[in-house]
């Protein structure tokens, strides 16, 4: 009886979810560091913009992402260990289940034989009353043992099934964590690249940093002013030639000949990549060829296009403090200089001073419904 009690106690303990055993554990030192870094980044963002501040934010983000990668790795390692332990436990339970099932198959016929013998038959084969009582007690004990054995067999079957289900669940969790780890590692590589680009572009100079910020802001102001005093050229159709790729705005607002293609909707920046058709181009930012675009517009450039900077967070987008560090357009070059209208609309032209007196030429198309596309640095 004691063995049975201890067996059930062990079974109950095994069935307690592992997470419940540690539910009241205090936060780890890694969690505390993560929260500390989040607070630091939040405080830095409220400070006056400077190179020192930007580097501090980048360093904190790199450290934060590194901690997340380490935390995910610890979780993956923990799950791997638990999965291995569950595999061993499943193997043990499978052996135990096989043995108990075989034993049960042997006991059932024997028990049935005894069960069909009537009390009269037991009495008939008993030598005396004492022997009769002993035989009856033995048969009752056999029936009780069989009932207990059935309970144990059922418990083993349930435990076996639950262990297998738990292992599969942990495998799914492990795969999810591995994907998260890959995403965080990609993010970490991008952050390190962004910091290296910042140091390279500014030469670790505060004056150079402020100069580049001012140039980016001047370009943004030129676009805003162009919308106000741009001269109407007239209607254009998709595929019409509207300009040539240039380098106007250099050196104040351009670093070389390229097309800055930008789309705004209701005066707010939107991802131009969602308007142009999907196309295989060379992606300088991420290295290698990539399919960019998910809309219906034509690309403004034909030929072998190379995208030098995409929309969003890029190694150069730290310059665009006015947009929260987001590059608001798509920069590209091609084997052809001809810029074509990607969609129907009304064409406008503007020339604005930008950064130290340099002149930047801008074309833009009003497509209706509050959508405007811009083409910067044109000849």
Does residue 126 have a pLDDT over 80? no
Instruction: Give percent above pLDDT 70 in the chain.
Output: 75
CA distances to 54, 109, 286 from 118, in Å: 93, 16, 86
Residue 114 φ then ψ, to 5° = -70, -35
Instruction: Give percent above pLDDT 90 in the chain.
Output: 50
Q: Report d(CA 191, CA 313) in Å as an integer.
A: 10
Query: What confidence score (pLDDT) does residue 240 get?
Result: 98
Query: What confidence score (pLDDT) does residue 170 get?
Result: 86
The per-residue pLDDT of the chain, averaged, comes to: 82
Query: What confidence score (pLDDT) does residue 139 get?
Result: 55
Residue 46 φ then ψ, to 5° = -85, -5
pTM here is 0.67
Q: Token pair 């995910």 is at which residue?
A: 72
CB 375 within 8 A of CB 259: yes
Contacts (Cβ under 8 Å, ≥6 apart) of 334: 245, 301, 302, 303, 304, 305, 306
CA 131 to chain centre: 76
Residue of 368, 364, 330 whose CA lies nearest to 242 = 364
CB 364 within 8 A of CB 348: yes
Q: Report d(CA 198, CA 196) in Å as an integer.
A: 5
pLDDT digits (tens, 9 = 90+) for 171-209: 899 999 999 999 999 999 989 988 999 999 999 999 999
pLDDT digits (tens, 9 = 90+) for 321-367: 889 889 999 999 999 999 999 999 999 999 998 877 789 999 999 99
Pairing, β 338-340 against β 306-309: unpaired
pLDDT digits (tens, 9 = 90+) for 282-320: 999 888 999 999 999 999 999 999 999 999 988 888 899
Higher pLDDT, 105 or 321: 321
Show the tokens assigned to 10. 């062990």
Give 137-197 as a DSSP string: HHHHHHHHHHHHHHHHHHHHHHHHHHHHHHHHHHHHHHHHHHHHHHHHHHHHHHHHHHHHH
Residue of 276, 262, 248 whose CA lies nearest to 361 = 248
Query: What confidence score (pLDDT) does residue 60 get?
Result: 93
Does residue 110 have a pLDDT over 80? no
Pairing, β 359-368 against β 306-309: unpaired
Average pLDDT over residues 17-36: 57
pLDDT digits (tens, 9 = 90+) for 222-255: 999 999 999 999 999 999 999 999 999 988 788 8
- Domains of the chain are 2-202 (1.10.287), 208-376 (no CATH)
Q: Token pair 């592992």 is at which residue?
A: 18
Residue 106 φ then ψ, to 5° = -80, -35
Average pLDDT over residues 163-167: 80
Query: What confidence score (pLDDT) does residue 14 get?
Result: 36
Q: Report d(CA 362, CA 69) in Å as an integer.
A: 44
CA distances to 28, 62, 186 from 74, in Å: 12, 18, 18
Query: What confidence score (pLDDT) does residue 112 get?
Result: 47
2-35: b (≥16 Cβ within 10 Å) or e: eeeeeeeeeeeeeeeeeeeeeeeeeeeeeeeebe
Query: What confidence score (pLDDT) does residue 144 get?
Result: 61
pLDDT digits (tens, 9 = 90+) for 71-94: 999 999 998 888 888 787 777 767
């Amino acid at each position: 009886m004691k063995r049975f009690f201890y067996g059930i106690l062990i079974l109950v303990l095994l069935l307690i979810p592992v997470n419940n055993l540690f539910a009241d554990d205090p936060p780890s030192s890694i969690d505390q560091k993560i929260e500390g870094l989040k607070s630091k980044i939040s405080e830095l963002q409220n400070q006056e913009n400077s190179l020192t501040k930007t580097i501090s934010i980048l360093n904190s983000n790199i450290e934060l992402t590194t901690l997340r990668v380490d935390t995910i790795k610890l979780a993956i390692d923990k799950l791997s260990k638990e999965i291995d332990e569950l595999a061993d436990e499943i193997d043990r339970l499978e052996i135990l289940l096989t043995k108990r099932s075989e034993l049960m198959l042997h006991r059932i016929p024997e028990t049935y034989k005894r069960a069909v013998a009537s009390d009269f038959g037991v009495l008939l084969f008993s030598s005396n009353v004492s022997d009769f009582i002993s035989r009856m007690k033995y048969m009752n004990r056999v029936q009780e043992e069989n009932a207990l054995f059935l309970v144990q067999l059922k418990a083993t079957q349930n435990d076996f099934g639950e262990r297998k289900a738990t292992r599969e669940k942990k495998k799914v969790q492990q795969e999810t964590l591995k994907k998260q780890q890959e995403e965080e590692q990609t993010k970490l590589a991008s952050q390190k690249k962004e910091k290296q680009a910042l140091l390279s572009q500014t030469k670790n100079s505060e004056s150079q940093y402020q100069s580049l910020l001012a140039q980016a802001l001047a370009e943004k102001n030129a676009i805003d002013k162009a919308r106000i005093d741009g001269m109407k050229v007239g209607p254009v159709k998709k595929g019409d030639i509207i300009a040539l790729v240039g380098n106007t705005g250099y050196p104040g607002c351009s670093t070389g000949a390229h097309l800055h293609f930008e789309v705004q909707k209701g005066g707010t920046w939107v991802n131009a990549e969602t308007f142009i058709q999907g196309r295989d181009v060379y992606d300088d930012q991420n290295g290698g060829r990539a399919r960019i675009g998910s809309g219906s517009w034509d690309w403004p450039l034909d030929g072998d296009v190379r995208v030098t900077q995409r929309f969003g967070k890029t190694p150069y987008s730290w310059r665009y403090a006015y947009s929260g560090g987001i590059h608001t357009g798509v920069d590209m070059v091609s084997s052809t200089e001809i810029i074509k209208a990607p969609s129907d609309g009304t064409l406008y032209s503007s020339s604005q001073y930008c950064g130290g007196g340099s002149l930047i030429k801008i074309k833009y198309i009003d497509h209706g419904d509050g959508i405007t596309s811009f083409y910067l640095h044109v000849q």
